[in-house]
Amino acid sequence: MATQSRHARPFSIWTRMLLWKQIAVALVLGLALGVALNLTGNVAVAGTIKLVGDAFIAAIKMLVVPLVFVSLVCGMTSVAEIGRMGRIGVKTLAFYLGTTAFAVTIGLLLGILLEPGAGVALVADGAVDAKAAPPFGKLLVGIIPANPISAAADGNVLQIIFFAIIFGLAINLAGAVAQPIRGFFEALNAVIMKLAEIVIAFAPYGVFALMTWVAGTYGFEMLLPLGLIILAVYLGCLIHAVVVYGSIVAFMARLNPVRFFQGVIEPAIVSFTSTSSAGTLPVTMAAATRNLGVKNSVASFTLPLGATINMDGTALYQGVTAVFVAQAFGVTLSGADYATIVAAATLASIGTAGVPGGGLIMLSMVLASVGLPLEGVAIIAGIDRILDMARTTLNVVGDCACTVLVARSEGEVDLDAFNTPHVMAAPKLGTG
Ligand code: ASP
Q: Which residues share a beta bridge with 294?
A: 413
How far does the centroid of ligand 1 lie from the alpha carbon of residue 61, in Å?
15
> What distance in Å separates the CA atoms of residue 35 and residue 28, rounded to the nearest whole number?
11
How far does the centroid of ligand 1 lie from the alpha carbon of residue 419, in Å?
30
Give the nearest ligand 1 atom to 360 CA: 7
* Whole-number pLDDT of residue 404: 97
* Whole-number pLDDT of residue 395: 97
How far does the centroid of ligand 1 lie from the alpha carbon of residue 356, in Å?
5
| SS3 category, 294 | strand
Amino acid at 402: C
Contact 391, 237 (CB under 8 A): yes
The maximal CA–CA distance of the chain, rounded, in angstroms, is 71
Low-confidence ranges of the chain (pLDDT < 50): 1-4, 427-432
> What distance in Å separates the CA atoms of residue 308 and residue 111, rounded to the nearest whole number?
26
* Whole-number pLDDT of residue 432: 36
| Residue of 276, 303, 321, 365 to test ligand 1 pocket, by largest number of atoms within 8 Å of CB | 276
Give the nearest ligand 1 atom to 357 CA: 7
* Whole-number pLDDT of residue 134: 60
How far does the centroid of ligand 1 lie from the alpha carbon of residue 277, in Å?
6
* Domain residue spans of the chain: 18-419
Q: Which residues line ligand 1 (CB under 6 A)?
A: 275-277, 311, 314, 352, 354-359, 388, 391-392, 395
> Model confidence over 91-117: pLDDT tens digits?
999 999 999 999 999 999 999 999 888
How far does the centroid of ligand 1 lie from the alpha carbon of residue 391, in Å?
7
> What distance in Å separates the CA atoms of residue 343 and residue 345, rounded to the nearest whole number?
6
Could you give the C-alpha distances from 397 to 112, 240, 277, 386, in angstroms and in order? 25, 10, 10, 18
Angle 227-239/312-328 helices, nearest 10 degrees? 150
| Residue of 57, 274, 305, 355 to test ligand 1 pocket, by largest number of atoms within 8 Å of CB | 355
Cα radius of gyration (the chain): 22
- Classify residue 132 by its DSSP letter: P
Could you give the C-alpha distances from 362 to 26, 132, 347, 352, in angstroms and in order? 32, 9, 10, 6
* Whole-number pLDDT of residue 361: 85
| Residue of 347, 352, 363, 389 to test ligand 1 pocket, by largest number of atoms within 8 Å of CB | 352
> What distance in Å separates the CA atoms of residue 340 and residue 229, rounded to the nearest whole number?
21
> What distance in Å separates the CA atoms of residue 10 and residue 295, rounded to the nearest whole number?
37
Give the nearest ligand 1 atom to 352 CA: 5
Give the nearest ligand 1 atom to 314 CA: 8
Give the nearest ligand 1 atom to 356 CA: 1
Confidence (pTM) = 0.86
> Model confidence over 38-96: pLDDT tens digits?
989 888 999 899 999 999 989 988 988 998 899 889 888 877 677 788 888 899 999 99
> What distance in Å separates the CA atoms of residue 292 and residue 269, rounded to the nearest whole number?
16
* Whole-number pLDDT of residue 287: 94
Residue from 205, 194, 164 nearest 74 by CA: 164
CATH superfamily of 18-419: Sodium:dicarboxylate symporter (1.10.3860.10)
How far does the centroid of ligand 1 lie from the alpha carbon of residue 331, in Å?
27
